[in-house]
Chain A
């Protein structure tokens, strides 16, 4: 009888060994043949920026023989952030992770990262542009290395506009400029080119209301010392103006709805490049992709401002690189070394030219490769200019709010609902209430003392 039980145990054990072998096989490499230390780097870059990022990483890997940085794409920001949060304090955590600007508060709450002020020398951190560094500066410390930084801009088919005999948009267009152009493009092409779209994208919602000097959260966007955000503003006059821009375009029959998410982004870009879409708004980082693929003259302007409301300017968008603290010393050293390389003026200039993202290093703008490129193609300067001419106030410092992903989902829901004909006031109110409920629940669970 014992023999049989032994047999069963042996069978089970064999099986377990097979699993363990499977584990070993599936393991991410930690040290390659020539004893280089592996630095796992999670990022969210797709398309052209991904290629540019891989290029930079390859250059870094070739430049020294101590570390190998392994970039791993983890899906869009909204997907990679929760992935990181789920493993932040476990063995599956990467050494370096790219997290988007609105994740700053959430990343800090994990207490799993080392501030750049501690990891890097002042010499490196002092080179970061002030108006970019201030977004990621919390408790007087630079918490993460700003990396890909952008502002949303408006792209339009300037070639078609000129061909149709219409007036191109000014550098700082108003809502009515946009509406008129979209209507005219739709009409003059007999509907072959749909005038405009506004992607149901939370970031656009935020920036288009920020441009009207609307705070997204109370307590100075959650940045007031010793305070945290307790109320989110979605149902605001600024948001109503934005929604009316959409409904007016729908009424003009010059609006096309691509929905939201990766697929919508891909679709609006494909339609734009195919000449089926007149204008849309997207990150300045797409400039590179669009410039390379457009068979027509590309137009780039600031994000439009509401009629009669002075332009306030925008908060930066994009992402920063965060270093995980639960790593062996040699990995941390490698991360510091790699970040120093990534933040250098040369790397940033290369990154800027390859992608359309802004350079975070102060000295990059004076390098000849940048000055000559901007002189040759003024489109490249639009986003930099847009950020530089923005007001310096809590709105443009950006929201420091933990539940931003939920807030954005709710903003996107509103935008989709309105694109499908729902009433504006009620939809905005529902979105605001749901967001505030989520914020209240978050605060109740995470700020127990107050």
Chain B
């Protein structure tokens, strides 16, 4: 549409036209200015600065003292703590993304409009979206924690041994995953429910008449129609999962033995606890690259399977 508007009056004189083009650009600049300035100061400049820091050895005050090229990157890729963090992050992201999407899809399908009173259930399912990070973590912490926790009480009731939710290597990660999936469920549910509403009902009616099984209806009518939304939900959930911080901070602090030490938590520790700006910047860059790669891969993989309306 840029061509559209700039070519309104072709008969005008060039000088006049020139002045008009300049004022048009000034207007556009005026409208864009606030966003451009703030993106510049708080996104582009910091990005460049982070890249810059990642090539330096930095002292305790965060000042770059020595250019070391790619040494920070090389060290990190051989650092067992960072590699573990990377590995844990990938498992975490895969688990959160798939569980969130599948659970939300199941719930949304269950709570479709065919029944009375589903509105209530839909509001309930969506509501975890309104529970904030720290509230959700504290609620779950009470469930997990050993001395007064609910989990042990329930297990005890069934004569099962207690689960070391926050101190066991695997269980701690499971605990964080559960909390995050629970929190994400609301948004995913809302999005998928919305998409389900838009699937044309006549398709189901035809299928009904022909006696198609529910699974086949789901597989060949529902799924293709909501695939763009599923893809959107998976992508958003994934990007958010990569950036999970609060739940780890409140539940496990990265422990036990770094088994829940997600990359963002490691970045926080290196930048703001260990005060190693160079290392933290390098980790940030690797995280950015990782997210870009995984998102790109996801786009490529799902491109062909997603049906756009």
Say if the two chains contact directly (CB < 8 Å): yes
Q: Name which of B97-105, B121-129, B163-171, B192-200 contacts chain A.
A: B163-171
Which chain A residues lie closer than 8 Å to B58 at the CB level?
445
What 1/0 mask marks residues of chain A from 408 to 450 whose CB sits below 8 Å from any chain B CB? 0100110011011010000000100010001001101110100
Given contacts A405-B273, A438-B274, contact A258 B61 (CB under 8 A): no
Q: CA of A403 to CA of B273 in the docked complex: distance in angstroms?
A: 10
Closest-by-CB residue of B relative to A261 is B253
Across the interface, do B145 and A263 meet the contact criterion of CB distance under 8 Å? yes
- Find B65's partner among A9, A257, A422, A448 (CB 8 Å cutoff): A448
Which chain A residues lie closer than 8 Å to B169 at the CB level?
420
What 1/0 mask marks residues of chain B from 128 to 159 whose CB sits below 8 Å from any chain A CB? 00000000000001000111100000000000
Closest-by-CB residue of A relative to B37 is A12
- Nearest chain B CB to A181 CB, angstrom units: 21
- Find B60's partner among A276, A402, A420 (CB 8 Å cutoff): A402
Which chain A residues lie closer than 8 Å to B42 at the CB level?
none
Whether, in the assembled complex, B235 has its beta carbon less than 8 Å from a beta carbon of chain A, the answer is: no
Which chain A residues lie closer than 8 Å to B258 at the CB level?
413
What 1/0 mask marks residues of chain A from 108 to 127 whose CB sits below 8 Å from any chain B CB? 01100000000000000000
Whether, in the assembled complex, A152 has its beta carbon less than 8 Å from a beta carbon of chain B, the answer is: no
B48-89 interface (Cβ within 8 A of A): 57-62, 65-66, 80-81
Which chain B residues lie closer than 8 Å to A267 at the CB level?
145-147
Q: CA of A12 to CA of B34 in the docked complex: distance in angstroms?
A: 7
Looking at chain A's contact residues, the main secondary structure is: helix
Closest-by-CB residue of B relative to A1 is B23
Closest-by-CB residue of B relative to A447 is B59
B264-282 interface (Cβ within 8 A of A): 269, 272-276, 278-279
Given contacts A260-B253, A270-B148, contact A445 B66 (CB under 8 A): yes
B244-258 interface (Cβ within 8 A of A): 252-253, 255-258
The interface centre, meaning the residue of A9, A416, A417 with most chain B CB atoms within 10 A of its CB, is A416
Whether, in the assembled complex, A329 has its beta carbon less than 8 Å from a beta carbon of chain B, the answer is: no
Q: CA of A261 to CA of B279 in the docked complex: distance in angstroms?
A: 24
- Nearest chain B CB to A401 CB, angstrom units: 13
Given contacts A5-B30, A259-B255, could you give 10 more A-B pairs where the C-beta distance is less than 8 Å? A78-B273, A85-B60, A86-B272, A109-B61, A259-B167, A264-B167, A267-B146, A419-B167, A438-B274, A441-B276
Interface residues of B (CB under 8 A from A): 23, 26-27, 30-31, 33-34, 57-62, 65-66, 80-81, 141, 145-148, 164, 166-169, 252-253, 255-258, 269, 272-276, 278-279
